[in-house]
Amino acid sequence: MVSASEQIEAGSWRRLLPLTDGEGEEHALLSSLLDLWCRERGARGAALYLDDDDASGAELSSGEGPFPAGPDATAGFERLPLPGAVLLWRPGEAGAPRTEEGGGEGEGPLSLLLALAVSNCRLLGRLKRQSFQAKYRGVELEALYDVGLAIASTLDLDLLAEDILLRAVSLLDARRGALYLLSGGVYRLQSQLGGEALESFPATAAHETPSGLLPGAEHLLAVPIAIEDDRRGILAVGDKESRSGVGPFSPEDRRTLSLFANQAAIALENARLHREALEKERYERDLQLAAEIQRQILPKGVPSVPGYEIAGWNRPAREVGGDFYDLVPVPPEEQSGENDRGLLLGLALADVSGKGVPAALMVSTLHSAIRLLFGRIGFGPRLVERLNRHILASSAPNKFITLLVGELDAASGRFTYVNAGHNPGLVIRADSHLERLPPGGLPVGLLPGSSYRSGVLDLAPGDLLCLYSDGITECASRAEEEFGEGRLVALLRAAADRPLPEIVRAVEEATDDFAAGQPQGDDQTIVLLRRSAEA
Amino acid sequence: MTETLKLRVERRDGLAIIYTEGYINNQGGEQIASAAYELLEEGYKRILLNLVGTKIVNSIGISILIEIIEKMLAIDGRLAFCCLTPTIHKTFHIMGLAQYAGIYDDEAAAVEALAAA
């Protein structure tokens, strides 16, 4: 059986000839002339080998074969060169070839007609090849136009990169290709076709392309993808195909690929910006959701505890923050163990190291742990020790939480607390005397096995307790001076008789005035508790 | 080390369908031609090329497809294409293939047209 390749090559003189009804007529004419030529010469058979610009040889035969594979002189065959072709023919039984009427050997009118028909076929073939090339130039222009259109329509970076590579490989008749995008000083493979490609390579000052970019490729053509002189990537193709194999790319190919890469650069940049915008939008959505979750964690109001006023306020420096406070009334029936205490109020105020999402995640962990544990072990040292173990086990190294927790026995006014590395709580006594709630241990999450001791504060009528985070006292002015504990104490003293919400607003306004428009550097939280004067 | 075109041939009542997956270049085109000529030798004169798995074709591949079309026309056969990507669809139109081979959006339409031919 004749292979497909051989069949195609045998008919390659007609390759790209017109797909029209008239095209077959040229072939039929040539075939008829060859038959006639054989009869006239008394030849047993003849084969016509046409010179072909892009094929090794072609044949059209008449009569008894087989015929040699090529047009070289072969024993048993006579050889007649014609313009653009060679005729090999097998002489008839009589031996000596007969000459044509009206001409000498090889110069008769039939040979002339045959030569003319060959010439026509060659001209037709050339015309069709040029027609094919002209049409394919149309495909190239269309591809450039399409990539231009993609600037406005394709915003998916992965799809766009794949499309650009497909078109580049196709346009240049390359066997393979790869597209790289520059990110963080490294060219990273974005899309590949037709074989393996280097996954990544560092960008050098001269932006050289590694020779092994497409392993196994014999010929490589790579051009920069750049906007003006700003490199964004590399478009590379390998091994230009022809019917006979692969070869190098031409300077024209380089110009075409460069033109294509210029168009692609704009499209890719557009898609990259779109992806960044989408990611930012998604991140902001996530942050809004996280902020909403965090708002749910914070108390939605203040519990009612007879004989006391309570207020709480939190303002994160970013969408979400690392400060947290909680107010948990614990009626007698929910208290662990047997005791004769009345209503208890659990208080917690914490400040996670760092800000933003990581800190907010730790706040969430802390909130859950406190809520799960306090009912069984209360708000004393055992709670803080358990929290320390829990935070150490569940958070990244170097992350810790300063924390002040305690429980107020509403009836007696006794506030039993543990200060785990937090800035001291402040007590403004009814006579304006200041007391502090000093630390009784290290921040939680810092060291394993930390122990904590509790402190006791007895609140008398008119006493004001203030728990706060360092975002208040470390609020910075334009001169980089801190608001400081002194200003906070002065403010509390001055406003000690006012309703607690007013004191909170006064703190907020005072820190804002102090910052004078400077961005808030840290989360700010404050919890106020005042034993009513008439209690 | 290049990826070769994957081919699958289905024969149905005088109609043969060649499914392609991959790049129709020189190698891929030769594979298709080989399959098509084998079908011609078996007597199939109506062949459908379903390019559902092909996203790319180059000029060498197109020239081979043209040869197949010519061969089909010479024996009064019919070749049709279906399931082309928009890019390949546009390329085939520009290159003139659409004048001599039917191009259909889906296989059912192509099979119906070939069966009626």
Cα–Cα distances in angstroms (integers) from residue A310 to residues A105, A219, A482, in the given order: 124, 79, 27
What was the pLDDT predicted at A176?
94
| Domain residue limits at A10 | 4-128
Query: Looking at A401-492, which runs of residues are DSSP E strands?
Result: 401-409, 414-420, 425-428, 434-437, 455-458, 464-468
CA distance A64 to A393: 92
Select from A258, A273, A288 the last residue of a domain. Answer: A273
A363 lies in the same domain as A481 = yes
Would A134 be classed as within a structural domain? no
CA distance A453 to A8: 94
Angle at A282 between CA A279 and CA A285, to 5 degrees: 150
A158 lies in the same domain as A123 = no
Best residue of B24, B47, B63 to probe chain A, by most A CBs closer than 10 Å: B63
The residue with tokens 């024209």 is: A252
**CB pair distance less than 8 Å for A196 and B74:** no
Query: The CATH number of the domain where A168 resides is what?
Result: 3.30.450.40
Shortest CA gap B80–chain A (Å) = 15
CB nearest B69 (choices: A19, A136, A171):
A19
Report ipTM for this prediction: 0.88
Burial A444-475 (b: 16+ CB within 10 A, else e): bbbeeebebebbebebeebbbbbbbbbbbbbb
**CB pair distance less than 8 Å for A132 and B99:** no
A161 lies in the same domain as A86 = no
Best residue of B32, B56, B92 to probe chain A, by most A CBs closer than 10 Å: B56
CA distance B110 to A235: 37
What was the pLDDT predicted at A143?
77
Asked whether A342 and A334 are in contact (CB, 8 A), the reply is: no
A54 lies in the same domain as A182 = no
Scanning B26-65 for CB atoms below 8 A from A yields: 26, 30, 33-34, 36-38, 41, 55-60, 62-64
A354 lies in the same domain as A488 = yes
A14 lies in the same domain as A117 = yes
Q: Extract the tokens encoding A117.
A: 């028909």
A342 lies in the same domain as A480 = yes
Q: Which domains does chain B have, with CATH numbers?
A: 6-116 (3.30.750.24)
How far from the centroid of its chain's Cα atoms is residue A275's Cα? Answer: 7
Query: The CATH number of the domain where A30 resides is what?
Result: 3.30.450
Do you find a cis peptide bond into A66, omega within 30 degrees of 0?
yes
The values of phi and psi at residue A386, to 5°, are -65, -40
Q: What is the DSSP letter of A523?
A: -
Shortest CA gap A278–chain B (Å) = 27
> Residues of chain B whose pLDDT is less than 50?
1-2
A372 lies in the same domain as A485 = yes
**CB pair distance less than 8 Å for A243 and B1:** no
Scanning A192-251 for CB atoms below 8 A from B yields: 193-196, 215-216, 241-243
A163 lies in the same domain as A201 = yes
Report the chain A residue with the minimal C-alpha distance to residue B40: A4
A261 lies in the same domain as A397 = no
A454 lies in the same domain as A370 = yes
pLDDT 10s digit of each residue in chain A, 535 long? 333 333 323 333 333 333 333 455 667 778 888 888 888 878 888 888 877 644 444 467 888 878 888 888 888 888 888 877 888 888 877 655 556 555 555 567 777 788 888 877 777 777 877 888 888 878 877 777 777 766 557 778 888 889 889 989 998 999 999 999 999 999 999 999 988 999 999 998 777 888 889 999 999 999 999 988 889 999 999 999 988 889 999 999 999 899 889 888 888 888 888 888 888 998 888 888 888 887 888 898 899 999 999 999 999 888 778 899 999 998 877 776 666 678 889 999 999 987 778 888 888 888 988 888 887 788 889 999 999 999 998 887 888 999 999 999 999 999 999 999 999 999 999 999 999 999 999 999 999 999 999 999 999 999 999 999 999 999 999 998 999 999 999 999 999 889 999 999 999 999 999 999 888 888 999 999 999 976 4
Would A209 be classed as within a structural domain? yes
